[in-house]
Amino acid sequence: MEVKSNILEATSNKNNAFDNFFKSAFTVDNIIFGFDEADLKVLLIKRGEIPYENQWALPGNFVYQDENLDTAAKRVLAELTGVKNVHLEQVKTFGSVGRHPFGRVITIAYYSLIKISDYRLHVSSIAQEAAWHSLSDVKGLPFDHDEIFAACFNRLKLNIKRQPIGFELLPPKFTLTQLQHLYEAILEEKLDKRNFRKKILSMDFLIDLNELQEGVAHRPAKLFKFDKERYRRLYEEEGFHFDVAPTKHKKK
């Protein structure tokens, strides 16, 4: 009771102190994005519990008593995929009164980006089953998960233009075409090939590895890697602004 009564001392005396200590729970949801050469995917779990048992939903879990929020989000990811050390971003907190049928639940939404090749489904208490879904399949989710998903995808769209986070979704060595397809998938528009290459190379943080793609039935592409150190030196203070013309974009 000690914690409770102390918190209540700090509360407004206009209200009954107990009003501020109602039954509630808080959770994190972590929207996990992956990219598989062609499409942007999201990892959904099949719920093993009521409510909405057996429906596909965003992965999430309660935050433990002695656990920070970011840690909880990382734990959800790690338990589900075994992947650690990823790009993680807190997006928005959802706490409408009626959003959970069983009571007041506040959910802090994160997204994270992983290399889909690193993914290996783990036996996990969080989910019965997990699977990658195309973005277009992500609708009709339970709770307010459609809204949460939209907020996270939206944030990703904004961030991709200002931070070098695309590389988190690609293997360490990638071709410029793969990178372009990734940008196109996130931004949901086709980009002009020459302008894309000119722009991204002019930013000067990609290193040409002088290696060629193998095992493709056409002219092999050069492989590049992202130079994080160089990025830091060049852009740490000012940041960048990636904006390339979609193909056949009409001028006003």
Partner DNA sequence: GTAATTAGTGTAATAGTTACACTTTGTGAA
Partner DNA sequence: TTCACAAAGTGTAACTATTACACTAATTAC
3-state SS assignment for residue 21: helix
User: Where are the strands (E) in the chain, listed by range?
Assistant: 24-35, 40-46, 56-57, 60-62, 87-94, 104-113, 129-134, 206-212, 222-226
DSSP state, residue 191: B
Burial 28-61 (b: 16+ CB within 10 A, else e): bbbbbbbbeeeebbbbbbebeeeeeeeebbbbbb
Q: Which is nearer to a copy of itself, 68 or 117 (CB)?
A: 68
User: Does 46 interact with a copy of itself (rule: CB under 8 A)?
Assistant: no
Long-range contacts of 7-14 (CB under 8 A, 24+ apart): none
**Rounded to the nearest whole angstrom, what is the least distance from the CB of residue 219 to DNA in the complex?**
2
Which segment (61-69, 164-172, 178-186, 221-229) binds a copy of itself by CB under 8 A?
61-69
User: Does 105 interact with a copy of itself (rule: CB under 8 A)?
Assistant: yes
> Which of 37, 38, 54, 103 touches a copy of itself by CB under 8 A?
103
> Which of 95, 195, 220, 228 touches a copy of itself by CB under 8 A?
95
Tell me the β-bridge partners of 250.
none
Tell me which of DNA, a copy of itself, none is bound by residue 123, counting a contact when its beta carbon lies within the kind-specific cut-off of 5 to 8 angstroms: none
**Rounded to the nearest whole angstrom, what is the least distance from the CB of residue 244 to DNA in the complex?**
5
Tell how far CA 13 is from the center of its chain.
41
Tell how far CA 19 is from the center of its chain.
35
Binding mask 191-230 for a copy of itself (x = CB under 8 A): ----------------------------------------
Footprint on this chain of DNA (rule: CB under 7 A): 175-177, 192-195, 197-199, 212, 216-222, 241, 243-251
Q: Which is nearer to DNA, 49 or 243 (CB)?
A: 243
Tell me the β-bridge partners of 222.
212
Quick check: 117 and 147 in contact, CB under 8 A? no
Binding site for a copy of itself (CB under 8 A): 3-4, 6-7, 9-15, 19-26, 49-51, 61-69, 90, 92-93, 95-97, 100, 102-106, 108, 125-126
